[in-house]
Amino acid sequence: MEMFTTIGLNHFLTISAILFSLGMFAVMTRKNAIVILMGVELILNAANINFLTFSKYNGGMAGVMFSMFVIVLAAAEAAVALAIVINIFKTFKTVDVSRVDTMKE
């Protein structure tokens, strides 16, 4: 019963593992470039939750610092990624990655 009443390390880690898996699932199954990028965002945030949790239970600020940098970086990456996706849309008139495939073996 205690498992349901007290929130501990494992709860956080489970959430982050689920988020990570959902992110990977989105990346692997979706064809829309924007949705893939959303999946990447989930993966990064799963790692963030890990860092914050471990920081809380291990002590020390290293994990908190790490996650703050990751948040900033995710924003930078999203900016570059969206610029590239917009350019793709201008060139190919679609953001479906399976149709943006002109180079072949």
Partner 1 sequence: MFEMPSGAEIQSIISTLRAGADYFIPELYLSALFMVLIILDLVLGGRKNRILASATIIGLLGTLFFIFKQHAMPDAELFFGMYALDRFGIFFKYFFVLTGVLAVVISAEDEHLNSQEAGMGEYYALIVAMVVGMMMMASSTDLLMMFLSMELVALSAYVLTGYLKREPRSSEAALKYLVYGAVSSGMLLYGFSLIYGLTAQTNISKISMELSQHGYDPLVMILATLLVMAGLGYKIGAVPFHFWSPDVYEGAPTPITAYLSVGSKAAGFALLMRFFFVAVPHAADGIEDMLSIDWLTILMIISAASMIYGNVVAIWQKNVKRLLAYSSIAHAGYLLLGIITMDKVGTQAVLLYLASYLLMNIGAFYVVVVIANKTGSENLEDYRGLGRKMPLAGAALTVFLISLVGLPPTFGFIGKLMIFTALIGKGDLFMWLALIGILTSVISLYYYMLIPLNMFLRDSDRNLDKDYRTGMLSNAITVVLMVLTIYFGLFFQPVAEYARYSASMFGAVLN
Of 2, 33, 34, 75, the residue at the interface with partner 1 (CB under 8 A) is 33
Of 22, 32, 88, 94, the residue at the interface with partner 1 (CB under 8 A) is 88
Of 7, 34, 65, 71, the residue at the interface with partner 1 (CB under 8 A) is 65
- Name the residue with tokens 């201008």: 90
Q: What is the b/e burial string over 5-42, where b = at least 16 CB atoms within 10 angstroms of the residue's CB?
A: eeeeeeebbeebeebbeebeebbeebeebeebbebbbb
Candidates 77, 79, 47, 76; CA nearest to 63 is 47
Residues that bind partner 1 (CB under 8 A): 13, 20, 23-24, 27, 33, 36-37, 39-40, 43-44, 46-48, 50-51, 53-54, 58-63, 65-66, 69-70, 73, 76-77, 80-81, 83-85, 87-88, 91-92, 97, 100-103, 105
